[in-house]
C-alpha cells in the first residue's frame, strides 16, 4: 500500500521513542508478568538493527528537534531509547549492550523504587504469584470479579485483567484496591523482589 514507505519518510522528520522497562536473561522466574522485561538477546538484536538503520539520538537532541524542527529531514530516521522505573537490569544488562553499539539512552528512575520500595504493579504480581488460595473473588468499582488461581496461566490471566482494571482508576483508587487485594490474598511480599 505504500504506507510503510510513507511512515519511514515521516519518521525522518520527527523522532520515534522506544520505551523499555528492563531486560532479562532466558527466564523470567519470580514474576508472573515478564512482559516488562525484554529478553537480553532480543534487545541486542534490536540495538544492532538500530545502529545500522537509524540515528539513535540523545534526549537533548530530541528536545531540540521538538522545539525547533530542522529545516531538512535527516538521512536516517531518528529514534530515542528510554527506560522506565530504574530497574537494575538497565545498568547490568542494557548498558553493556548500548555501549557495544555506541547508542545513547535515557533512564527515568522512580525514586521510591530506587530506594527499595516496590512499584504497585510489582506488589500485585508478587502477591498473585505467592497466593495460597485457588480463587480470588473481589468487588472493584461495583462489579464482582472471580478469578481462578489454580495454575500459572490462570494467575497470569488474573494479573493481566487486574492491571487493566486498576490502571483506569485514579491513583488513590489504585492504592485502595491494592491494599484490599493484598489483604485478601494474605501474602507477605516485603521480602520479594522481581
Average per-residue pLDDT for the chain: 86
| CA torsion, ordered 54, 11, 13, 57, to nearest 10 deg | -40
Query: Quick check: 82 pLDDT over 80?
Result: yes
Do residues 40 and 25 touch, judged by C-beta distance below 8 A? yes
Listed ranges 1-5, 129-133, 160-164; the one with the highest mean pLDDT: 160-164
Q: Residue 69 — pLDDT band, cuts 50, 70, 90?
A: low
pLDDT digits (tens, 9 = 90+) for 17-56: 999 998 988 766 666 777 788 999 999 999 999 999 999 9
- Could you tell me where the DSSP H helices lie in 16-168? 40-53, 59-67, 88-89, 95-100, 111-114, 120-130, 152-166
Question: What proportion of the chain, given as a percentage, has pLDDT over 70?
Answer: 86
Do residues 173 and 138 touch, judged by C-beta distance below 8 A? no
Q: What is the pLDDT of residue 192?
A: 54
H helix or E strand, kind and range, residue 136: strand 135-140
The residue-averaged pLDDT of 115-124 equals: 86
Do residues 154 and 147 touch, judged by C-beta distance below 8 A? yes
CA neighbor of 121 nearest in space, from 52, 194, 28: 194
Q: What is the pLDDT of residue 194?
A: 54
Q: Considering only 69-78, 115-124, 137-146, 176-185, which range has the smallest mean pLDDT? A: 69-78
Q: Residue 67 — pLDDT band, cuts 50, 70, 90?
A: confident
The residue-averaged pLDDT of 151-169 equals: 94
Q: Report the predicted TM-score, pTM, of the whole model to 2 decimal places.
A: 0.72
Amino acid at each position: 500500500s505504500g504506507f510503510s514507505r510513507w511512515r519511514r519518510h515521516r519518521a525522518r522528520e520527527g523522532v520515534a521513542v522506544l520505551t523499555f522497562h528492563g531486560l532479562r536473561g532466558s527466564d523470567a522466574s519470580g514474576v508472573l508478568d515478564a512482559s516488562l522485561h525484554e529478553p537480553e538477546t532480543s534487545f541486542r538484536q534490536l540495538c544492532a538493527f538500530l545502529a545500522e538503520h537509524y540515528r539513535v539520538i540523545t534526549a537533548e537532541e530530541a528536545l531540540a528537534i521538538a522545539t525547533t524542527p530542522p529545516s531538512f529531514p535527516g538521512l536516517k530516521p531518528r529514534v530515542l531509547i528510554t527506560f522506565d522505573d530504574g530497574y537494575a537490569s538497565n545498568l547490568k544488562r542494557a548498558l553493556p549492550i548500548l555501549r557495544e553499539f555506541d547508542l545513547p539512552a535515557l533512564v527515568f528512575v522512580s525514586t521510591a523504587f530506587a530506594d527499595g520500595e516496590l512499584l504497585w504493579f510489582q506488589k500485585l504480581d508478587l502477591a498473585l504469584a505467592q497466593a495460597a488460595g485457588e480463587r480470588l473473588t473481589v468487588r472493584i468499582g461495583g462489579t464482582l470479579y472471580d478469578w481462578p488461581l489454580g495454575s500459572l496461566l490462570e494467575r497470569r490471566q488474573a494479573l493481566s485483567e487486574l492491571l487493566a482494571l486498576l490502571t483506569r482508576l485514579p491513583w488513590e483508587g489504585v492504592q485502595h484496591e491494592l491494599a484490599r487485594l493484598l489483604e485478601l490474598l494474605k501474602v507477605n511480599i516485603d521480602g520479594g523482589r522481581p
